[in-house]
Amino acid sequence: MIDPKLLRTDPDLLRRAQAARGESVELVDELVSADEARRSAIASFETQRAEQKDLGKQVAQAKGEEKAALLARTKELAAGVKAAEAASNEAGAKFDELIKQLPNPVFDDVPRGGEDDFVVVETIGTPRDFAAEGFTPRDHLELGEMLGAIDMERGAKVSGSRFYFLTGIGAQLEFALLNLAMAKAMSWGFTPVIPPALVKPSAMEGTGFLGQAAQDVYHLPADDLYLVGTSEVALAAFHSDEILDAASLPLQYVGYSPCYRREAGSYGKDTKGIFRVHWFDKAEMFVYCDPADAEAQHQKLLGYEKEFIQALEIPFQVLEVASGDLGLSAARKYDCYGWLPTQDKYREITSTSNCTEFQARRLNIRMRDGDGVRSVATLNGTLCAMTRTIIMLFENHQQADGSVYVPAALRPYLGGLDYLRPLG
């Protein structure tokens, strides 16, 4: 959640941020009123409670008629204190309910607009000209079947639509990508983590995934647990309710976990193959840092993503996401879109978000330095989403005979293979 002081010192900043997101500006006005009502109710309760305590001391020293009068006043005041406490709790609950609905304020220089209003920051690499090479590229599913790497039919038989098996070289390729990702992440100073894929509601709410993204979340009602859509959730909640030593920051983790998404709003989209599925595995980077360092850390995460994609020799673009397309927690987000030859366009393969202090406030994660105790900042970034990365490798590195070139960076993790060959 946001710092409540912003409501009192700069509500116009929050109004601008809401307008930039295309969200309700009136919510800020409601929050300002709710904050005033909450503080007024707390002050009333505390005043009456102080008077009640003072009367208690006077009663202990009084005698006779004076004592009787004081006791009568104490009885009257007790009812008032009880009512004031109830009003304070009610005002606090209303404020808490409203402030949880307020997204993280976007930075003023984030591009304005919706899903299609992103800004292309840079283009790296050049897509192959398959026509000049004399053949039409096959899509990833046809290649995956030729290589014995992807089995959609049995995935649907076992689990339903948008499920799959990675088999043979497909499974080996995921392990190779994981090993490459972890080797790079550790060289950058990240601590590897295998986090739980089931989390409590507090973790989901704390990271902002029970807001706009709630429709895509799988919930297990019998256990009141959620299947994560990204290991960001567990990694963010890892230090919940803790005070971190400022000298230990930044803390850098790279988590590997399955990710589960309903894809509720994607009916009819990307139904072929493994581009948009209900489950995939992902290596995710996560950083806790001093808020003053958050923007620099964000650029580092983007740099790591770019380095990994370049190591796989995939042409891609870096996009800055527009304000209206940001999730609840992000103040700024960059996406990397890899070139997909059979669709003749770039498609998303990684993203990295600066969540400033938003998640840390919701999860009660703070730091202690010479100036006292205050909130940290959190950032996240995809290192390798396995299915989409496999798609990019297959389609961009395919050969006319259906074989697939293996980038040099991956070969040590595939027993030195330089090409994946079709089966028999």
Full pLDDT tens readout for the chain, 424 residues: 778 888 888 889 999 999 999 988 999 999 888 888 988 888 888 888 887 777 777 767 766 667 777 667 777 777 887 888 888 888 888 888 888 889 999 999 999 999 999 999 999 999 999 999 999 999 999 999 999 999 999 999 999 999 999 999 999 999 999 999 999 999 999 999 999 999 999 999 999 998 767 888 999 999 999 999 999 999 999 999 999 999 999 999 999 999 999 987 777 788 899 999 999 999 999 999 999 999 999 999 999 999 999 999 999 999 999 999 998 999 999 999 999 999 999 999 999 999 999 999 999 999 999 989 999 999 999 999 999 999 999 999 999 999 999 999 999 999 999 999 999 7
Is 276 catalytic? The answer is: yes
Element containing residue 318 per DSSP (H, E): strand 316-320
Point out the catalytic residue in the list 38, 138, 162, 261: 261
The Cα–Cα gap between 399 and 8 comes to 62
Q: Looking at residue 59, what is its pLDDT?
A: 63
- Residue 98 is predicted with a pLDDT of 87
411 among known catalytic residues: no
- From 39, 276, 411, 421, active-site residue: 276
Helix, strand or coil for residue 219? strand
Name the residue type at position 60. Answer: A
Catalytic-labelled residue, pool 44, 323, 329, 351: 351
Residue 414 belongs to what H/E stretch? none
351 counts as catalytic: yes
H or E, element range at 331:
none
Contact 212, 326 (CB under 8 A): no
Considering the candidates 202, 348, 374, 403, report the single residue annotated as catalytic.
Answer: 348
Question: Is 21 known to be catalytic?
Answer: no
**Residue 115 annotated to the active site:** no
